[in-house]
Structure 1
């Protein structure tokens, strides 16, 4: 009997640049690809929110479906299971005589706790859980410093990393693989079953995002090769205002950061350096920075006082001010426009996120924790490190002390929408 490896997909829903998958294929006779819909990802939180809202749940289902279709084209499938990974994976290992389990390591506490539980239970079966790292542009071993010595100041991290680290080439996309024989590959859950009927599709729902690897690659290609056309089509659009909107596919691993980087380099070869290409690299570096900060500091980012030794425990109760902010009913036109965009599309650009966060914390004096939790529910591109890291920074309790108290609401307001045009467009 040949060696079988179970490939546990999490936030890595792609075939391209997937070291875990490439190695599993090379080290086994058959693989068993698995995705587990964990009910805890859709629970209510203590912060008056749900962990995953309707928009991102829809995007997740589409992304898992896309991965399944890609595997089906290769003569196999994706085993879809509902339950807690620490309960279902050991059962699958025993049922299919699995020799090893491969997965990508996460950095936030809840995700790493699940991995630890799975690893402990597999160990009792004398089966190894092998960890891979595939969410960052730079591998940690290629950084010019160990994790414990990574600069807390982002500008220093960026300068040293770009100067001294290298971006590795992508792993090849598999063109064939052998699958474990499975009689029932499972059914993708319905949207309503995952959100438990507690959440409804937002009114005026609209989204530019469709989940899945192919959609992500198509969007990347369009951005890189039609960016100049977008400028020509809108004479009022400045080059620095072109937003890639790649973050949703990056968050679920439908796109690899390295794939994005190297495709951008190809585009630079064809068209020369474009100013808006710089925004891609900057975004990827911020993603890396917060993931490495989570590796360095762990759960501090989830504490209301954060890195502020003099921080006080904030009131985490629900309030009328919080509800008005969530619903886009504060009376501040641009804040309300940005929040309405978030509520109807699941997306908000980075500058707008800074604006509404500063307004919640400094103008309404509501705990940043409640804002971060609401973003966790609503954002289509949510990932723990970037979301909670950014919010801690906005609240002045982040690890980069140079950014503490550097955000002023009125200045942000003038920068983002000096003539009030954005607010009017979103309202329309």
Structure 2
């Protein structure tokens, strides 16, 4: 994609396509890019924003982002003849407010628009595709990004959970995937302390691994310390009241059930080639230690920083170099008393992590089924059609009914996803009668 004139600040040689630009990850990514552009004296130039993709529910925000960053191409997954004209009108209004020209020369729309945007933008090996889409719909754009040769900054964990084998086959080079989830970013950073690094995020080094196990940390969510019998009447408002992170509704509910940690375990297994049995979960309510790597000599390397997603997002955009985020992300304060606590996971109250291990062991399509069933169950819970305790129960029932496949292609994965959603909907309907 080469360097051209950017909408703000200093021009960088690295271009970025942001998928899910109006969501939590996308808006923070653009904040980081704006910060880097405003501080050209830092070690990293701001990447040029070559394309933005969004679902289409926040067209005014998408238009403001495009004008602010001088973005030539947009994509919206919403269908309908009115979408593009509405976005054009929003762009014109945003340009007037900002006193800048409307930079957009191309708008793509429809279910495949995000994947088409990657090709239209001409992403190549010097560029980055940040996938901040929520849910399994992020799989096809992930595969498109890998085919392009661009570095994939992956915040869409469902891509690996749903299509792990497909993602691995689509890799064009070692290190093409850089994790953006704070836990997996922490592991990738800690692995650089060793010699024999493993997995998709680093070159594979011949020789035995120095890694004994990975430790994912979990905040414990809003219901940490509760017993199962205390959670029967949990409301959506309670589940969405996360103690440390500000995330979208699906991820926040998944954090409350610890399904999110189960999905992260599957993602870590696939990213770093570590067996699920060698991936532990520790509850760390302060959310300062984002994950750990335990080496075979007994040393444990931790990555610690305040719970601010802009740090792993920025690292995903500039990997393997670190950008200067002074003034945007405050470092951990060490001049005041500080205490971190770690607790064992209560698997009886929160069985989702063990369920994820079961899914990985069953077949290559069982993780996709786990994710799809959970997305349906979470939607039903947020709509008031399902109890909180029923979410993981639905997940388990759908997993038990699934007949898996060992080496699926994309068609098989999508079929398993569709079957799981239909089966989950049947079970949800039966519980609400």
Greater share of residues in helix: 1
TM-score category (smaller protein): 0.3 to 0.5
Greater share of residues in strand: 2
Larger relative contact order (CA 8 Å, sep ≥ 6): 1
TM-score, normalised on structure 2?
A: 0.32
TM-score, normalised on structure 1?
A: 0.33
